[in-house]
Amino acid sequence: MQGHGTLILCDACGRAVPDQSSKEVLYQVNKVRYRLELCPTCLDAEMKRHDGHRGIPGFRKRAAIVVKIASSDDLPRTVTPG
């Protein structure tokens, strides 16, 4: 079985979830995109927090979600990039 036993660490809360349960989410800030992988709990919270999102082919997953945010401060993580 391909990828058996692989766990993904959620980029928002750090929880380990099975690869097939994680979701690729791209946060678009102007022309820059931040790629995160979220656990189902964080994905659900993010979908409620942001109104608009659209689906695109993923980099690692078959499908990913793009969410537009005003700045990198809106990324769902405690450590800001840069």
Q: Which residues pair with 55 in a beta bridge?
A: 65
Q: What's the min distance (Å) between Cβ of 33 and Zn ion?
A: 19
Tell me how far apart the alpha carbons of residues 82 and 65 are, in angstroms, rounded to a whole number.
23
| 45 is an interface residue for Zn ion by CB under 5 A | no
With CB under 5 A as the contact rule, the residue among 36, 42, 65, 75 that binds Zn ion is 42
Mark 8-37 with x for binding to Zn ion (rule: CB under 5 A) and - for no binding.
--x-xx-x----------------------
Q: Which residues pair with 66 in a beta bridge?
A: 26, 54
The nearer residue to Zn ion, 41 or 72, going by C-beta atoms, is 41
Short-list 75, 63, 64, 77, CA closest to 29: 75
Two structure tokens written together for 53: 């999102």
Binding residues vs Zn ion (CB under 5 A): 10, 12-13, 15, 39, 42
